[in-house]
A and B are shown apart, each in its own frame.
With several copies, the nearest count.
Chain A
Amino acid sequence: MPDEANGDSLSPEGEVELYFKMCLIRAVEEHVVSAASIGLVPGSTHVSIGQEAITVGACSALDPKDLMLATYRGHGAFLANGGDIKELMAEIMLREPGCCAGKGGTMHLSDPEHGTLLTSAIVASQIPIAGGVALGCKLRNTGQVVMTFFGDGAACEGEFFETMNMAKIWNIPLVMVCENNGYALATPISKSQATPDIADRAKGFDMPAEIVDGNDVIEVRNAVARAVNRARSDGGPTLIECKTVRYGMHSTRSPGYYDNKEDANAWRDVDPIPRFRAALIEREVALPAALEEAEARAKMEALDAREFAQAAPLTSIETIRANVFAE
């Protein structure tokens, strides 16, 4: 974990590793879109393209023992937090070796071994659950910090507020990371938020809040690191709003709505990956060739994972019937 972290506190290798992870997520998500388009991901899947800086930056500020909960738009968070790429791909394609044996699918990932407890498909529902996990960590003095991701839409649901209130009263080690991508399905924040900044919502609870550029991986990392430090030193919860721009659609099933084509393409102008690449080169952290190598490696890993998943057996009926109750 970076101490009052900033880009400099990372080694050059560390920064390239962040870059690699962002590329890995991008490559995986592109496979997900393509797999979905040929029917390998039935139903719907919500990719996190364009939001890689948030998940990668935020997770990089956690210790390995820390815990994380995310949303149905969770592939990126899962990978950023160290989840196995093959288990992810297999899960998305509903195969036996998936991280949830292919029963959860794209919206329900779990990998407690790497600290990813769950991703939930009911908007905002994971926020109080994360609060409870944080309370458990505090009560057992484990020194763990708990982070939860959620969207701007989730910030309209009552549980977001209920959790802020409880988190502040009980002073629990919770880091609440809002990925404000400007839309909840087809609803722009102008129609869903009393003020444009979700961070405002923390004011009523006297909870520290920060707004960061969600397309700048180092800025996200640093802000989250401050929150993690606060949480770890018993300073209580923090809300971090990461401003970003949604990748031109809500999900493969529900396109969402944009007033015009420019809005739908706006994410490209702020794409965090080329931006981080340029910064790394400008700051002379890495040579273009090294970054190209990282990107190529990411693509290779993603392709491998996809091939693994496609070759894996679909979840069996025995598996489907299992786990209704714990023994």
Chain B
Amino acid sequence: MSDTVADPTRTLAMREAVTEALAEAMEENPDIILLGQDIGKYGGTFGVYRGLYERFGPDRIREGPLCESATVGFGTGLAISGMRAVVEISFMDFSTVAMDQIVNQAAKLHYFTAGKLKVPMLIRSTVTSRLGLGSQHSQSLEAWFMHIPGIKVAIPSGATDALGLMRTALRDDNLVYFIENSGLYAEEEEVPTEYYEIPFGSARVVRPGTDATVVALSSMVPIAVAAAEQLEEEGVSVEIVDPRTLSPLDMDTICESVGKTGRAVVTHDAHGTAGPGSEIVARIQEQAFDSLDGPVLRVCGEDIPLPAGLSVSKILPDEAKLIESIRTLVEKNW
């Protein structure tokens, strides 16, 4: 028997983590109302709400007509009337239908009323970048929301983070956009049994390393881990950092890592151009220029609308592309 007793854990898939955090918060806070389409007995397009309707009934699991814009507006109205709204926009692509309500209303009411109104609202969307559902059902649009002050953006890469971040989100008095990649839903992790929250703006060092830093988002985190394991065998030691929230963005952890490794690659499914990685790259070179042995590289979705079919993965980042990019950085003398 070892000296230290490991904290007890249990196995949880990311989908279950989201469901659990929602159920827990609804149990505790009767003012939480869920709004959206198909969230009742059906349990949501991705099954994230399964069981909630039975537990909390139709008033609180409020299934409504197919109109995302007014649905978000109703959520904002609930939020400013003293409730806490959770609004489902099933696929992130459909946020386009509700952008005014998200960006001009919910994100700004607290500001332009000088704090008189608060908007405790969480919007949840699933990103299906790798399911091959075609150009209108595949987009990772987190960069848009990072760009808008007044929105917090959480983007977990697994069950542990999803649970902790969702708990935090459901206590935050601001608009939070919570982004889940469907490819991670079934992934299981050992999750602490004890209650914990994960504060926004705290990145996680997924894996320590010394030769290069990979800043990875969402579904790229497990892929980055695989790439790092492969490179380990070649003697290249890769540190992986998952920012977990894009707004706020924990540059301290990222820069600390880059300070150590001198090399950085940023990777995500979203299109590279004006994607979340552009901001991360811009900040790394602003804040850690002296540490850099070479440019910060990006391994991102190509600037092509996402086609239907599984070939979509060919224009998304993968292990091989990431390895190649890290090798370039490590091998080339800049």
Contacts and interface: CB of A to CB of B under 8 A. Distances in A.
Interface of A: 42-44, 67, 94, 99-108, 110-112, 117-118, 120-123, 125, 127-137, 139-140, 153-154, 156-159, 162-163, 165-166, 169-170, 184-187, 191-193, 254, 256-257, 314-315, 317, 319-327
A112 B116 contact: yes
A325 B97 contact: no
A317 B73 CA distance: 30
Interface in B36-63: 37-38, 40-42, 45, 59, 62-63
A43 B70 contact: no
A287 B40 CA distance: 48
A187 B38 contact: yes
Given A102-B308, A132-B73, A136-B83, A118 B314 contact: no
Interface stretch (B98-106, B183-191, B235-243, B253-261): B98-106
Interface stretch (B4-12, B131-139, B159-167, B274-282): B131-139
Nearest to B58: A191
19 contacts: A43-B133, A99-B116, A103-B307, A104-B113, A108-B112, A121-B134, A121-B136, A121-B137, A123-B66, A128-B72, A132-B80, A135-B81, A140-B83, A170-B62, A185-B45, A187-B40, A256-B42, A326-B174, A327-B173
A191 B111 contact: no
Interface in B58-79: 59, 62-67, 69-79
B304 A321 contact: yes
Nearest to A105: B308
A170 B64 contact: yes
Interface of B: 33, 37-38, 40-42, 45, 59, 62-67, 69-83, 85, 93-94, 96-97, 100-101, 104-105, 109-119, 131-137, 149-150, 152, 173-174, 302-305, 307-311, 314-315
Contacts of B40: 186-187, 191, 257
B29 to A, nearest CB: 13
Contacts of B101: 125, 128-129
B293 to A, nearest CB: 32
Contact of B70 (A118, A131, A320): A131
Contacts of B136: 107-108, 120-122
Given A43-B131, A157-B67, A186-B42, A133 B152 contact: no
Contacts of B114: 100-101, 103-104, 110, 319, 322-323
B113 A108 contact: yes
Contacts of B41: 186, 257
B319 to A, nearest CB: 18
B315 A320 contact: yes
B73 A131 contact: yes
B246 to A, nearest CB: 14
A107 B105 CA distance: 13
Contacts of B67: 156-158, 162, 165-166
A298 to B, nearest CB: 26
A112 B114 CA distance: 12
Contact of B77 (A133, A157, A184): A133
Contacts of A315: 307, 309, 311
A184 B66 contact: yes
A42 to B, nearest CB: 5
Given A159-B69, A184-B37, A185-B37, A136 B115 contact: no
